[in-house]
Amino acid sequence: QVQLVESGGGLVQTGGSLRLSCAASRGTFSGRALGWFRQPLGKEREFVAAIRWISATTYYADSVKDRFTISRDNAKNTLTLQMNSLKPEDTAVYYCASSTRLTGSNYYFPYAYDYWGQGTKVTVSS
């Protein structure tokens, strides 16, 4: 079992940057793909980015491509999401998640992920 803890959320102005982190407080990221999802208030959870275990292949939602960067440090069991050029529509609770069965076709779907963090809130003011 893996317990995930996100940090780094907060309030930022449009055009600003934030760096989210996710750490394994219990268990390890070894062998697991990792992803970020977000859930705007009153809306469904949506895919943001994912990164695979060995190849470190990354996937991004079109809405964040070229603005967000996902990375991982396997030795430190940490996952990072660098968010630049933030927009008000990026406002949401951001969740990290891990998966042992991620593929090139299911990374977009929440069901592909086994464990989730509690979320960290990001607010982008206009």
- Lookup: tokens for 6: 């996100």
pLDDT tens digits, one per residue of 88-107: 999 999 999 999 988 888 99
Sign of the CA dihedral running 126, 97, 31, 65: negative
Of residues 92 and 32, the one with the higher pLDDT is: 92
pLDDT digits over 40-73, tens only? 999 999 999 999 988 889 999 999 999 999 999 9
Phi, psi dihedral angles at 90 (to 5 degrees): -85, -5
Q: What is the dihedral of CA 28, 104, 65, 39, to 10 degrees?
A: -60
Confidence check: pLDDT of 30 > 90: no
Look at residue 16 and tell me whether its pLDDT is greater than 90.
yes
DSSP string, 73-112: ETTTTEEEEEE-S--GGG-EEEEEEEESS--TTTTTSGGG
Structure token pair of residue 40: 């705007």
